[in-house]
């Protein structure tokens, strides 16, 4: 494994913009946040997974995974990042290394040829090349191969040093940000700029959520210079360094990128969310304020307030019919922590009760926010499936909100479940998204199926079963009396 | 019949194959009280888990030894030990099946040796049956991993030696990775119709058939019982399904002397007839009326459906055994296999696929060839949906993974009943595509040249040894 990779890893773990890290002592900080994994305790995605999640929504480029077929083969085509145009990103490309390639050390050659083939075939604006465990271990230098291929073909080739063993999914998000900062952003000048250009970071356009946000910005005359990375085009991201403000969505996934963009190009950033009505309004206000501070016309503030008033009124009117069903309903929120505070506030707004929210991947800042907005914050770490099942089966909550991996724990306990992670089928961002979320919650909670399937079978209540009167030979004799 | 083509390429576009460790994990999940353990970095397990969850719509107890950077350099034996001890303490499984991944195999670790010394040190692990299959991701595909895991289970857990049968009614069935829970239920019922008790290994019909337990369990519930595996030597005979199960059948026969037969295929009339005749021979019982009735239903379905399948141009992409099975079946109804793409060349059966050529390739090969061959129907797993969209063709989902259809474990395509239902499913696809004709449909209609079919190869049993 390359020295490069190891020093890179240490550097990223030492992210100064990361609140979690800043709270630690100097010595601890050096160690970074690589909490060791526990073998034999269920594990989440690897760094490659995280990097791919963050970059794959760039829709017009080729994403090429360097490794044996499993990394890409078992994972492609499993997300709902939507596109408004090109669909190159949906292809699953891998060098599909064979035993022979590995033994003979043919990995680099094969990668180079695969890059060339992909460019010849799809003529993309760029190729992203993902490193995985096996080639990283045997020392394939994908940075060098990318450099060489870019020179030969004239197409940018972006190496992403995402060997799975180097860390968890969150760490992979950071590696993705690193690749964008080092190789993409700032390489192309936008055709023109405006005083209201902004970027959003960490928004992947899951089931089209950016289209619930973009119209709001457009109504205010704010231009989304680059969405990083949902429904993004390569050129937009390459020109993202000319934005006036960066908004970082919810999590600290791309915080290293936000901080580095501030350092190099002086773009201030803030952390906000488009989940829930109050948060959406707060994010719009913040965007407007920061833009005005950086020279956008003053009247943006007023227009923002007007839009917020109108949109909030419209959203609440549409939520009204569901309020009765949802009021007081108890929720367990198990999101992995990344989105927990923004979802918490969204659910509280509509009168639901959060009986537990997981913060297993949250930063200290996330936790602070949860404490701020909840009267009685029941924050939990990771909950073993058995315990989760017991809590649901014992009627401690009316519904479970989580990602797909936990769904069957909820369903098998015969409790409603709603997907709020990336495999979900509904878009929940912005005002319209909040209405959609409320509608889904209501639909799920009021489904008669729950009552039906919780009812025991007739023969389980044996006392009630009376044999039919089938004449004198009624075998059991029970019920004759 | 078919020539095997392996286009030289620098990678794959839209992979068709799922990995061997995943295949092994699925096999392990067919054992009662099991936890599959991937020996490798954590992402491999996470991806496999997500894919399997999407297919089965069930919780999956899959675990990882969580190899990270340091172990990648220094070796993973300690992680393996820690994982086994942790699993034991947390879940108390009856069985742990280890599948290695590419990372660990590339380091060239001596996993068998590691495992031996761990077992010597850690006496608490003696309560759990542990087996290991070597399944690096860069060798083979789903079928290979499944077969290796079943072989490892047999070699590790069956009590060897010839013996007199206790019951004279037991047979062993070794299903392939392409059998669903419904397929297995049907096989067991068919055996029962001859008075035979089937020990099925692995048995996904108990563990992954989508049932709701009264209580939560973090390990599999249902699946083959360990004591039944130990007693497989008591069987009268062993029936393995699919060419890829040949090594497993051989291992079992070698250990116990129980004679085995590998049936290449169980879809369609001829194939099911062969199975039924075999069951009758093993049991010495005449074919019961219930099965004769199912048979005549299948014959009737074939009569009803052949109008819609005759002359249809079918493109298939699947693992070798499934490809063979489907191709033979479609061919028997007058359809033509214009494209056949498969995942690995590790199968002697591929040459017998009734098509001009079989390509070892990916879904891009499939898409391009199907388009060029003017296929009428795409038959492959869910990832083929993008190709179907682009080509505007109907898409019949088969194999693994199927994540955009419900109830896949309850769909059978084998035996008289399963073949009948499957045939109606296909027939209905073509029936629904028939449009009312308009004058303009006739102006310059091109009639494809009529071709007389070759006679079909009926003999399907594979000789063993
Ligand atoms: S852990 Fe490594 S080998 Fe496994 S999926 Fe992630 S990158 Fe691939």
The string of pLDDT tens digits covering residues B226-272 is 999 999 999 999 999 999 999 999 999 999 999 999 999 999 999 99
Distances (CA, A) of A144 to A9, B50, B270: 18, 33, 57
Is the pLDDT confidence value at A477 over 50? no
The nearest CA of chain A is from the CA of B70 a distance in Å of: 9
CB contact under 8 A, A114 and B10: yes
Count helices and strands (H / E) in chain B: 17, 16
Question: What is the rounded distance in angstroms from the CA atom of residue A228 to the CA atom of residue B34?
Answer: 42
CB-facing half-sphere around the CA of B190: CA atoms within 13 A: 30
Q: Mean pLDDT of all residues in chain B? A: 91
Q: B180 CA distance to ligand 1 centroid (A)?
A: 28
Decide whether any atom of ligand 1 lies within 6 Å of the B138 Cβ. no
Q: Do A46 and B41 touch (CB under 8 A)?
A: yes
Return the residue of B nearest to A42 by Cα.
Answer: B63
The predicted structure's pLDDT at residue A476: 47
Q: How many CB pairs under 8 A join A and B?
A: 219
DSSP string, B240-276: EESGGGHHHHHHHHHHH---EEEES---SHHHHHHHH
d(CA A132, CA A161): 8
Task: Report the chain B residue with the minimal C-alpha distance to residue A411.
Answer: B212
* Average of per-residue pLDDT values in chain A: 86
Which of residues B297 and B458 earns the better pLDDT score?
B297
Q: Whose CA is nearest to atom 7 of ligand 1?
A: A164
**When comparing pLDDT for A379 and B309, which is higher?**
B309
How far does residue B311's CA lie from ligand 1's centre (Å)?
A: 44
What are A171-180's pLDDT values in tens digits?
999 999 999 9
Which token pair is B58?
Answer: 């069930």
Q: What does the pLDDT look like over A49-69, one tens digit per residue?
A: 999 999 999 999 999 999 999
Closest CA to B53 of A80, A49, A48, A404: A404
Q: Which residues contact B238 (CB under 8 A, 6 or more apart)?
A: B171, B172, B173, B174, B232, B249, B252, B253, B258, B259, B260, B261
- CA nearest A111 in B: which residue? B10
- State how far the Cα of A97 lies from the Cα of A134, in Å rounded to an integer: 9
User: Which ligand 1 atom is nearest residue A46's CA?
Assistant: 6
| Mean pLDDT of all residues in A101-111 | 93
Beta-carbon count within 10 A of A65 CB: 30
Average pLDDT for A235-257: 91
Q: Residue A481's pLDDT is what?
A: 35
In terms of pLDDT, which residue wins out, A421 or B424? B424
pTM: 0.89
Least confident of A1-10, A69-78, A159-168, B122-131: A1-10
Beta pairing, strands A93-94 & B12-13? antiparallel
**In the numeric block, which tokens belong to residue B255?**
């250990």
Lowest mean pLDDT across A20-34, A232-246, A336-350, A461-475: A20-34
Residues above pLDDT 90, as percent of chain B: 80
Residue, of B83 and B222, whose pLDDT is higher: B83
* Cβ pair A283, A247 in contact under 8 A: yes
Residue in the block written with tokens 């190099």: A264
Ligand 1 centre and the CA of A138: distance in Å?
A: 14
Distance from CA of A402 to the nearest CA of B (A): 14
Residue contact A46–B86, C-beta within 8 A:
no
Q: Using omega within 30 degrees of 0 as the cis cutoff, is the peptide bond preceding A149 cis?
A: no
Residue A328 pLDDT > 60: yes
CB distance A39–B57 less than 8 Å?
no
pLDDT of the residue at A41: 79
Of A46, A78, A162, the one to substitute when testing ligand 1's pocket (max ligand atoms within 8 A of C-beta) is A46
Interface test with B, best of A73, A117, A450 (most B CBs within 10 A): A73
Can you tell me which residue has the tokens 């403000």?
Answer: A245
Which residue among A40, A71, A114 places its CB closest to the CB of B11?
A114
The residue whose CA has the least distance to atom 4 of ligand 1 is B44
Helix B20-28 and helix B42-56, axial crossing angle in degrees, nearest 10: 60
Whether residue B456 is predicted with pLDDT greater than 70 in this model: the reply is: no
**Is the CB of A188 within 6 Å of ligand 1?**
no
How far does chain A reach from its first CA to its final CA, in angstroms?
A: 83
Give strand ranges (E) for B6-123.
Answer: 12-13, 34-39, 63-64, 95-100
Stretch A254-259: mean pLDDT, rounded?
A: 93
Tell me the mean pLDDT in the region B157-176: 86
Using a CB-CB cut-off of 8 Å, the residues of chain B touching A167 are 68
**Residues in chain B within 8 Å Cβ distance of A35:** none
Cβ-contact A374, A304 below 8 angstroms: no
Nearest CA of chain A to the CA of B179: how many Å? 20
Our mutation pick for probing the ligand 1 site, out of A45, A47, A48, A175, counting the most ligand atoms within 8 A of Cβ, is A48
List of chain B residues whose C-beta atoms are within 8 Å of the C-beta of residue A40: 37, 63-66, 82-87, 90
Residue of A9, A36, A39, A171 to mutate, testing the B interface (most B Cβ within 10 Å of its Cβ): A39
% of residues, chain A, pLDDT over 70: 82
pLDDT at position A118 is 97
| Cβ(A411)–Cβ(B58) below 8 Å | no
Question: What is the rounded average pLDDT of the residues B356-367?
Answer: 96
Which range, A406-420, A423-437, B134-148, has the best average confidence (pLDDT)?
A: B134-148
Question: Which one-letter DSSP state was computed for residue A396?
Answer: S
pLDDT of the residue at A4: 45
Tokens 């209405």 belong to: A435
Contact B15 A408 (CB under 8 A): no
Q: Tell me, using a 6 A CB cutoff, whether residue B307 lines ligand 1.
A: no
For ligand 1, say whether the CB of B103 is within 6 Å of any of its atoms: yes
Chain B residue numbers with beta carbons less than 8 Å from the beta carbon of A409 are 59, 216
């Amino acid at each position: 494994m390359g020295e490069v990779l190891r020093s890179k890893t240490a550097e990223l773990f030492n992210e100064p913009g990361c609140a979690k890290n800043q709270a630690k002592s100097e010595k601890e900080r050096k160690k970074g946040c690589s909490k060791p994994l526990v073998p034999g305790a269920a594990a989440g995605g690897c760094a490659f997974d995280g990097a791919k999640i963050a970059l794959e929504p760039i829709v017009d480029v080729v994403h090429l995974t360097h490794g044996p077929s499993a990394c890409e083969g078992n994972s492609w085509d499993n997300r709902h990042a939507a596109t408004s145009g090109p669909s190159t990103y949906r292809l699953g490309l891998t060098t599909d290394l064979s035993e022979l390639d590995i033994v003979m050390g043919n990995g680099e050659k094969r990668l180079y040829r695969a890059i060339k083939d992909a460019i010849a075939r799809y003529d993309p604006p760029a190729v992203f090349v993902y490193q995985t465990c096996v080639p990283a271990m045997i020392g394939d230098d994908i940075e060098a191969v990318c450099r060489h291929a870019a020179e030969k073909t004239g197409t940018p080739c972006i190496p992403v040093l995402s060997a799975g063993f180097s860390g968890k999914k969150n760490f992979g998000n950071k590696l993705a940000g690193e690749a964008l900062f080092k190789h993409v952003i700032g390489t192309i000048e936008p055709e023109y700029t405006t005083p209201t250009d902004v970027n959003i970071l960490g928004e992947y356009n899951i089931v089209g959520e950016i289209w619930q946000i973009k119209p709001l910005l457009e109504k205010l005359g704010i231009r989304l210079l680059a969405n990083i990375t949902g429904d993004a085009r390569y050129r937009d991201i390459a020109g993202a360094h000319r934005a006036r403000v960066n908004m970082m969505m919810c999590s600290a996934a791309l915080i290293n990128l936000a901080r580095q963009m501030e350092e190099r190009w002086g773009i201030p950033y803030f952390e906000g969310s488009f989940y829930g009505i109050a948060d959406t309004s707060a994010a719009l206000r913040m965007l407007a304020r920061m833009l005005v501070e950086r020279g956008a016309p003053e009247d943006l503030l007023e227009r923002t307030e007007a839009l917020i008033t109108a949109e909030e009124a419209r959203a609440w009117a549409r939520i009204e019919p569901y309020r009765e069903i949802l009021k007081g309903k108890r929720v367990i929120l198990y999101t992995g922590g990344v989105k927990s505070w923004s979802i918490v506030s969204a659910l509280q707004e509509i009168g639901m009760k959060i009986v537990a929210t997981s913060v297993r991947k949250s930063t200290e800042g996330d936790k602070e926010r949860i404490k701020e907005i909840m009267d009685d914050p029941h924050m939990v770490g990771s909950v073993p499936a058995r315990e989760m099942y017991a809590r649901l089966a014992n009627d401690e909550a009316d519904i479970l909100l989580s990602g797909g991996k936990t769904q069957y724990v909820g369903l098998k306990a015969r409790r409603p479940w709603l997907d709020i992670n990336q495999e979900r089928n509904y878009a929940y961002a912005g005002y319209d998204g909040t209405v959609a979320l409320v509608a889904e919650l209501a639909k799920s909670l009021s489904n008669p199926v729950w009552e039906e399937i919780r009812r025991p079978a007739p023969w389980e209540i044996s006392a009630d079963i009376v044999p039919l009167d089938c004449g004198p030979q009624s075998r059991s004799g029970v019920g004759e009396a | 019949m078919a020539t095997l083509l392996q286009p030289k390429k620098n990678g794959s576009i839209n992979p068709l194959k799922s990995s061997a460790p995943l295949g092994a994990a699925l096999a392990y999940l067919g054992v009662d009280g099991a936890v599959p353990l991937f020996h490798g970095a954590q992402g491999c397990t996470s991806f496999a888990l997500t894919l399997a969850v999407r297919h089965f719509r069930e919780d999956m107890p899959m675990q990882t030894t969580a190899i990270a950077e340091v172990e990648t350099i220094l070796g993973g034996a300690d992680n393996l030990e820690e994982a086994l001890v942790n699993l034991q303490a947390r879940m108390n499984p009856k069985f742990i099946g280890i599948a290695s991944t590419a990372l660990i195999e590339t380091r060239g670790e001596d996993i068998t040796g590691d495992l031996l010394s761990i077992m010597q040190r850690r006496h608490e692990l003696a309560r759990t049956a542990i087996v290991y299959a070597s399944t690096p991701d860069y060798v083979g595909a789903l079928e290979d991993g499944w077969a290796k895991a079943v072989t490892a289970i047999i070699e590790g857990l069956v009590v060897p030696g010839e013996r007199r049968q206790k019951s004279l009614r037991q047979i062993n069935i070794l299903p392939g990775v392409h059998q669903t829970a419904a397929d297995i239920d049907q096989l067991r019922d068919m055996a029962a119709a001859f008075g035979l008790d089937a020990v099925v290994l692995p048995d996904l019909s108990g563990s992954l058939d989508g049932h709701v337990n009264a209580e939560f369990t973090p390990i599999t519930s249902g699946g083959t019982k360990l004591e039944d595996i130990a007693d497989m030597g008591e069987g009268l005979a062993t029936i393995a399904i699919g060419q890829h199960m040949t090594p497993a059948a051989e291992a079992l026969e070698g250990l116990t002397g129980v004679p085995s037969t590998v049936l290449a295929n169980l879809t369609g009339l001829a194939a099911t007839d062969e199975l039924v005749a075999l069951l009758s021979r093993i049991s010495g019982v005449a074919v019961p009326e219930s099965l004769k009735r199912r048979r005549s239903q299948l014959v009737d379905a074939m009569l009803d459906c052949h109008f819609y399948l005759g002359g249809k141009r079918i493109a298939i992409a699947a693992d070798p055994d499934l490809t063979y099975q489907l191709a033979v079946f479609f061919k028997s109804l007058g359809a033509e296999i214009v494209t056949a793409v498969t995942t690995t060349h590790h199968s002697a059966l591929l040459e017998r696929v009734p098509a001009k050529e079989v390509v070892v390739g990916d879904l891009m090969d499939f898409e391009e060839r199907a388009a060029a061959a003017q296929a009428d129907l795409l038959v492959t797993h869910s990832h083929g949906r993008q190709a179907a969209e682009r080509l505007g063709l109907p898409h019949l989902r088969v194999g693994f993974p199927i994540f955009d259809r419900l109830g896949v474990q309850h769909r059978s395509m084998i035996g008289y009943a399963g073949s009948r239902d499957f045939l109606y499913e296909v027939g209905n696809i073509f029936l629904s595509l028939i449009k009312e004709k308009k004058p303009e449909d006739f102006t310059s209609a091109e009639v494809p040249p009529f071709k007389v079919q070759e006679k079909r190869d009926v003999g399907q049993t594979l000789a063993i040894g």
